[in-house]
Amino acid sequence: MEEKFGLKALSTGEMLRTAVEEKTKIGIRVEERMASGDLVPDDLIVAMVAERIEELDCASGVILDGFPRTLSQARMFDEYLAERGMALNLVILFEADDEAMVKRISGRFSCARCGEGYHDVNKPPDREGVCDICGGRRFRRRADDNPETVRHRLEDYHVQTEPLLLFFREKGVLESVDAMADIEQLELEMESVMEAT
Ligand code: AMP
Measured from the CB, is residue 46 less than 6 Å from ligand 1? no
CA distance 120 to 128: 10
Write the residue with the smallest CA distance to atom 11 of ligand 1: 39
HSE-CB of 153 using CA atoms within 13 angstroms:
23
Question: How many Å lie between the centroid of ligand 1 and the Cα of residue 12?
Answer: 6
Phi-psi region of 176 (alpha: psi -120 to 50; beta: other; left: phi over 0): beta
Residues with Cβ within 8 Å of residue 9, at least 6 apart in sequence: 1, 2, 62, 63, 65
Question: How many Å lie between the centroid of ligand 1 and the Cα of residue 175?
Answer: 22
Identify the H or E element spanning 9: strand 8-11
For the stretch 2-60, pLDDT in tens is 888 899 999 999 999 999 999 999 999 999 999 999 999 999 999 999 999 999 999 99
The pLDDT value given to residue 105: 95
Measured from the CB, is residue 161 less than 6 Å from ligand 1? no
Residue 1 predicted with pLDDT over 90: no
Closest among 140, 146, 139, 161 to 37, alpha carbons compared:
146
Measured from the CB, is residue 41 less than 6 Å from ligand 1? no
Measured from the CB, is residue 48 less than 6 Å from ligand 1? no
Contact (CB, 8 A) for 74 and 68: yes
For the stretch 58-113, pLDDT in tens is 999 999 999 999 999 999 999 999 999 998 999 999 999 999 999 999 999 999 99
Our mutation pick for probing the ligand 1 site, out of 29, 33, 34, 104, counting the most ligand atoms within 8 A of Cβ, is 34
Measured from the CB, is residue 12 less than 6 Å from ligand 1? yes
Strand 108-111 and strand 117-119: pairing?
antiparallel
Our mutation pick for probing the ligand 1 site, out of 10, 11, 12, counting the most ligand atoms within 8 A of Cβ, is 12
Question: How many Å lie between the centroid of ligand 1 and the Cα of residue 128?
Answer: 30
CA distance 147 to 131: 24
Residues with Cβ within 8 Å of residue 98, at least 6 apart in sequence: 151, 154
- pTM of the predicted model, to two decimals? 0.90
Tell me the pLDDT band of 182, cut-offs 50, 70 and 90.
confident
Q: For 13-149, list the strands marked E by DSSP.
A: 62-65, 91-95, 108-111, 117-119, 139-140
Measured from the CB, is residue 164 less than 6 Å from ligand 1? no
Strand 174-178 and strand 117-119: pairing?
unpaired
Rounded to the nearest 10°, the torsion over CA 57, 145, 128, 123 is -70
List, in sequence order, every residue forming a beta bridge with 11; answer none if it has no partner.
65
Exposed, middle or buried: residue 74 (CB in 10 Å: 0-12, 13-18, 19+)? buried
The pLDDT value given to residue 183: 85
Q: Give the chain's domains with CATH numbers.
A: 2-105+147-195 (3.40.50.300), 108-144 (no CATH)
Measured from the CB, is residue 45 less than 6 Å from ligand 1? yes
